[in-house]
Amino acid sequence: MRKLKGHFPLVIMTKDKLFGMRDPLGVRPLCVGKVNGGWVIASESCALDHVGADFVREVEPGEAIQIDDEGLHTYTGKNRRSTWNLHI
């Protein structure tokens, strides 16, 4: 994450895992929700409403998450800081 420049959320999906990352300053939002026993990652909380998902939490600035069969796992780096959060 430190080598990437800019403000971004990032989501990657593989066959059996879902990854989400938020930029270190937390300029862009990234939310986690649950629907029908599964997980949802969205760039804005209002997107969760459109798929009928319940809001679980925001991904913190500089945080990376992994969702797999065992649940939600959190990875945080050093020097996390947030200038502001956008919760729509």
**Tens digit of each residue's pLDDT (9 = 90 or more) over 36-65:** 999 999 999 999 999 999 999 999 999 999
| HSE-CB for 36 with a 13 A CA cutoff | 3
pLDDT of residue 83: 43
Residue 44 CA from chain centroid, whole number? 10
* CB-CB contact of 20 with 11 (8 Å): yes
| pTM of structure | 0.78
pLDDT of residue 7: 83
Dig out the tokens for 44 from the structure. Answer: 């804005």
- DSSP character at residue 2: T
Residue 78 CA from chain centroid, whole number? 17
